[in-house]
């Protein structure tokens, strides 16, 4: 069974002897360029509109442990990073926001649905915690003011929607924080990039 400890430990072992970065950067990594892959990759910019993305949350290609399922998603909440697995034991690492204290989600799922500019309806438990959300009980159409942002990838277990998503955000400063009701937020430019790379049926893991 894949665990966060195993994900990090084997990533470090795979690149033993290379330069290590600070612990806050997540799994140990090397300076890896797109040219090291079979085809160069175009990554999202380091700005989200006028917002400069902090260095540790910029989209970067990094090594990961061998043998992870190709095109799967792996989320390490403690470091606020999401990894999308590429060929040759590499991944694109993005920054994320995670669930608030007591609302974090961990487990495995399948990306069974994807949506562009998704609509949103707060869950009953969200409305219970914040009655002001009652005004959206009938749903909110997708668009630039929708809290799900530009794209959403939907987590399913046993063919049932878990209500957990990887999605964009209207609050770029929330990336790197415990800020959501359980979902994983990304910069809109990052979630668009992830959306275009991730096939329906891909596996997703949060540790």
Residue 167 is among the residues annotated as catalytic for this protein: yes
Distance CA 71, CA 125 (A): 32
Nearest to 115 by CA among 157, 175, 172, 168: 168
Q: How far apart are the first and last CA of the chain?
A: 11
3 state SS of 178: strand
- Which one is catalytic: 6, 74, 81, 183? 183
DSSP per position, 73-117 = EEEEGGGTEEEEEETTTEEEEEE-BEEPTT----EEEEEEEEEES
Residue 183 is among the residues annotated as catalytic for this protein: yes
The residues that are catalytic are 167, 183
């Amino acid at each position: 069974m894949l665990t966060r400890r195993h994900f990090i430990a084997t990533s470090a072992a795979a690149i033993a002897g290379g330069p290590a970065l600070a612990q806050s950067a997540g799994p140990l990594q090397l300076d890896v360029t797109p040219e090291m892959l079979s085809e160069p990759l175009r990554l999202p910019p380091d700005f989200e509109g006028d917002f400069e993305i902090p260095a540790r949350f910029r989209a970067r290609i990094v090594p990961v442990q061998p043998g992870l399922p190709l095109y799967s998603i792996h989320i390490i909440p403690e470091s606020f990073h999401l990894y999308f697995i590429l060929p040759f034991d590499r991944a694109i690492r993005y920054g994320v926001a995670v669930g608030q204290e007591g609302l974090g989600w961990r487990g495995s799922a399948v990306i069974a649905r994807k949506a562009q500019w998704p609509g949103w309806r707060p869950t009953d438990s969200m409305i219970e915690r914040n009655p002001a959300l009652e005004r959206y009980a009938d749903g909110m159409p997708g668009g630039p003011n929708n809290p799900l942002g530009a794209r959403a990838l939907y987590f399913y277990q046993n063919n049932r929607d878990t209500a957990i998503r990887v999605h964009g955000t209207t609050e770029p400063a929330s990336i790197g924080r415990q800020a959501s009701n359980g979902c994983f937020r990304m910069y809109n430019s990052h979630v668009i990039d992830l959306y275009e790379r991730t096939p329906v049926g891909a596996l997703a893991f949060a540790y």
